[in-house]
Amino acid sequence: MTVEGTIAAVATGAGGALSVIRISGREAIAVCDAVFRAASGRKLSDQSGYTLHFGRIVAPETEKTIDEVLVSLFRAPRSYTGEDMAEISCHGSAYIRQEIMKRLIEAGARQAGPGEFTVRAFLNGKIDLSQAEAVADMIASSDRATHAMALNQMRGGYSQAFDTLREELLHLVSLLELELDFSEEDVTFADRGQLDALLGRIAGEVGTLLRSFSLGNAVKTGIGVAIVGPPNVGKSTLLNALLREDRAMVSEIAGTTRDVIEETVCIGGVHFRFIDTAGIRATDDTLEQMGIRRTFSSIGKARIILLLADGSEERGTLCRRIEESLSDIALRTGQRLYILLNKTDKTASGDPESLADSIGSRFGHSALAISAKENRNLDRLTDLLSRSIDTDPLYDGTPVVSNTRHYEALLHASEALARARQGLHAALPSDLLSQDIREVLYHLETITGKIATDDILGEIFSKFCIGK
């Protein structure tokens, strides 16, 4: 992938009082000079980088003022793109933005493509590919957790650790391949013990990153929470209460919810995707059966399951229904299940809190007494959900993988590492060992972009907004 010419684009969204227009390229400052008239009377081309200049954007043919602006100058290579750059801060009028862009293009710039500023930053060595992807994640971040994850990756994240390991691997690979030149002499340059220790260390690092994807991907897409249980236990009422709006239809008629309803709520800086499901029961209704099948699909995909039961029912009946519901749910590794005793506002006697403790002890899952209708203990529920996800790694600088492309590359690297270690222990020839280790290097380098095809780059940067 190559980029040529001087580019310009509006870097801010519509609707604000101010807008920023970015220009980057060899002729960026000259292009600005063609349309900018500094109040000082000085040319931008005569000014140093990291300076701010007040003046007017004009139509060169008439010198008519389009807007009064501030221009920020950045000199290569100390800029975001590694090229000469200018940023024009103007008023947010769509007309003003359009007129300034028109004059810049007439002066020799062209409209930037999606992500082209970041493409140039990558190609000019200002950032690696994983950091470039983090820029898009930073822009798209919608809560504290996704912001922290993107910020850590943008600062170097796990690519810094990879660089050190990569250099050590390259050194040992070069020694292995040197042995091929002296195959007839049967000499050994690469210390096998040192190589085994290094491969083990890299396998540990890669394994840790692979395991982090479960958290990273869940945070990025929203923590899936399936609300399940028999009909008429208050699943839709609970969803509405958490959303604080009537999103799901509520009715006393069993089987009202026949399809999966999904909504997102931010709790403790993390987005949770609440999934209201069809009530699980035996039924001859074809549509309801389809809804129940989707319920089980949602259960399989969710990270957290909220099993609702009617807490106003007689204890024996309540326990039997919970047991039946639990028998329908096959928990996978990493899933959490909480039992919610709903409708405790209708409990005629007894202590709902004691009942919840008793139910929790009997079935081996945390239980909480709530009333979705009366908003009772919903604060305790949201606190329980917040504490169920360990987000500390997101804020303490621990690398967390959230990108599917990175996960796939790490998975391939892990497989190549396993083959290399097996080959090492089986005393395979140097050329075969070298091949497996080079495959490890290849997959690690695709993450940071040391190896990247135009197809990969095109796919990544096509998702960027114009102006970044």
Supply the CATH number for residue 71's domain.
3.30.1360.120
Predicted local distance difference test score (pLDDT) of residue 124: 93
**DSSP-assigned beta bridge partners for residue 264:** 273
Is 328 within a domain? no
Reported residue count of the chain is 468
Is 425 within a domain? yes
Query: Which residue range(s) make up the domain with 62?
Result: 7-128
CATH number of the domain bearing residue 142: 1.20.120.430
pTM over 0.75? The answer is: yes
Report, as an integer, the average pLDDT of 83-101.
Answer: 96
Domain boundary residue, one of 128, 147, 173:
128
pLDDT of residue 80 exceeding 90, the answer is: yes
Please state the domain count of the chain: 2
Same domain, yes or no, for 90 and 161?
no
- Lowest-confidence region among 113-122, 186-195, 258-267: 186-195
Confidence of residue 243 (pLDDT cuts 50, 70, 90): confident
For 149-197, what is each residue's pLDDT tens digit?
888 888 877 777 777 777 877 877 777 766 665 555 555 555 778 778 8
pLDDT of residue 379 exceeding 80, the answer is: yes
Tokens 């897409």 belong to which residue?
221
3-state secondary structure of 106: helix
pLDDT of residue 17 exceeding 80, the answer is: yes
For 275-290, what is each residue's pLDDT tens digit?
877 555 444 454 444 5
Q: Taking a C-beta distance cutoff of 8 angstroms, is the pair 129, 448 a contact?
A: yes
Mean pLDDT of the chain: 84
Predicted local distance difference test score (pLDDT) of residue 34: 96
Same domain, yes or no, for 141 and 97?
no
Same domain, yes or no, for 103 and 52?
yes
Is 58 within a domain? yes
Neighbours of 197 (CB within 10 A): 11
Q: Taking a C-beta distance cutoff of 8 angstroms, is the pair 118, 22 a contact?
A: no
Positions of E strands within 259-366: 261-267, 270-276, 304-310, 336-342
For residues 277 and 260, give the distance between their C-alpha atoms in angstroms, rounded to a whole number.
5
Same domain, yes or no, for 41 and 149?
no
Same domain, yes or no, for 184 and 275?
yes
- Lowest-confidence region among 4-13, 29-38, 110-119, 128-137: 128-137
Nearest to 366 by CA among 306, 311, 324, 312: 306
